[in-house]
Amino acid sequence: MIEQITCCASGCCNESRAANAKSDQTSAEKPLGEGSSEDRGLHVLSLLNAQPNSEVTFQGLKRKLGWHQEIVSRTLRRLERDGLLLKTSSGAYRLNPTSSSHTSSQGDMLREDITPVTQLWLPKDLDIDMLASLLRNTWFGGWRWYGYRAESSEQVLTWISEDGYFWINLRILNGIAFVEAGPAGSAGRDRCLYAGYDLLGHLVKRYRSVLAGSEQILLQPN
């Protein structure tokens, strides 16, 4: 009888451990975005707060967050309803500058571990706003439009990889266009360089008619 009780107790313990292990595995495999609505909202605010003046598209956020589009849609609608987000005329999202409820950034996801690729000196008579306008909302290769940020004399256009893990920037400041990519730690320096040159090719292709006739543009590798 004692042996039977001991065996039963041991079996129960084993079943309990197996159940706990299965529960932990299920928890670990839970898809992103299945936390509470408050957690999802804070995650979105943290991402946008990394670049407070940026405008980010729905698809860009979906790729970066890795959530199902319905979860992203519900989260954005709730944040917009609560006055924390604004939807622009182009359909992009940005933080509401009048709201005092912004969460502090958990790290700038689109500036960390930057790899400078190259830089262009732009002609003085080139309309920078027109340049940014023609490049915004464009896709090329495996890169998808993510968002746009403008502050003071700087404009930043960002594309994100299809898997949402890597990004490239075109940063225009004081007549110079800087091509940047990252995160170098995850992507590796070579992939960042190739990504940057993909963007450079896209830029030249879009402005071939303008750039071909100008002798004022200098290409300066970093």
Do residues 203 and 177 lie in contact, with contact meaning Cβ atoms separated by under 8 Å? yes
pLDDT given for residue 197 in this prediction: 92
State phi, psi for 144 to the nearest 5 degrees: -120, 145
Q: What is the pLDDT of residue 30?
A: 36
Predicted local confidence at residue 215, as pLDDT: 46
pLDDT of residue 209: 57
Segment 77-84 shows an average pLDDT of: 85
Q: What is the chain's mean pLDDT, rounded?
A: 74
Spatial separation of the C-alpha atoms in residues 116 and 90, rounded to whole Å: 30
- pLDDT, one tens digit per residue, over 28-48 is 333 444 556 777 888 788 777
CATH topology of domain 37-95: Arc Repressor Mutant, subunit A (1.10.10)
The pLDDT, as a whole number, for residue 3 is 46
**pTM attached to this predicted model:** 0.58
| pLDDT score for 65 | 84
